[in-house]
Amino acid sequence: MSEVANRAGLLGEHAPAQRTGLAHRAPGGITRSGGAGVAPGELMRLFVAIAPPPAVLDELDELVEPLRGGRPDLRWTSRQAWHVTLAFLGQVDETATARLLPRLERAAQRHHSIALAFAGAGAFPAPGRANVLWSGLSGDRRALARLAESVAAGASRAGAPPPDRGRRFQPHLTLARCRMPADVTALVAALDGYQGPLWTADRLHLVRSRLGATDQPRYVTVDSWPLRAPAGSPP
């Protein structure tokens, strides 16, 4: 078995009841997914993310659901796999992944958990010619940006630099993608006034994205690490 699989294992898709594609690391070790390993020399499509609580995602999902039927031209993302990406790493080999794991663990240990909320909406590159429709975040965005920078720096030192490092970090949750540039101005306006409940980002996830025949990628958690408890919290 490869070094990465031996150290971390791979979590398979989690039970639908969890209603999130990025589950916490199980106490006492990581559950393996029936034979899903990392072959020597295999490239993995990786990203680092935080996973909002299911109840928070449920509320956002209820807000978005009435909008989906009116825009079948968009590829709406799967509710079960919603997450907030801190760094997309692209194709990473086994050696770099093994170097990446301890660096991400150290990054998590250096940062406190972060209070956030979903708020408003936007589109990349612009609502009138969008490729991506997203929900934004409010709360301690500076702390989130610092965490994202630590993740990017650790990935660079491990030999897996984010392809888009250097761009301004724009925290968001992707709601839909467009096969061709589309006008989503009305959707952005419909979601713009939303202010969701406060939640706490308390764990960092390294996730593998497997692309298949369907529009929706399959996400597998490679490993995850808790952030530090807020200053002054009881031990």
Is pLDDT above 50 for 12? Answer: no
pLDDT in tens, 181-228: 999 999 999 999 999 999 999 999 999 998 765 667 889 999 999 999
Which CATH number among 3.30.465.10, 3.30.590.10, 3.40.50.2000, 3.90.1140.10 corresponds to the domain 3-226?
3.90.1140.10
Half-sphere exposure of 6 (CA within 13 A, CB side): 7
Please report the pLDDT score of residue 229 as a whole number. Answer: 87
| Positive/negative CA dihedral, 213, 214, 215, 218 | negative
**CA gap 59, 52 in Å, rounded:** 11
Please report the pLDDT score of residue 164 as a whole number. Answer: 85
Nearest CA to 38 out of 101, 104, 121, 102 is that of: 101
**CA gap 90, 199 in Å, rounded:** 28
Concatenated DSSP letters for 13-30?
A: PPPGGG--SSPPPPTTS-
**CA gap 95, 2 in Å, rounded:** 10
Burial class (CB in 10 A: 0-12, 13-18, 19+), 218: middle
In one-letter notation, the amino acid at residue 57 is L
Helix (H, G, I), strand (E, B) or coil at 119: strand
Contact, 197 vs 80, CB < 8 A?
A: no
pTM of the model: 0.83
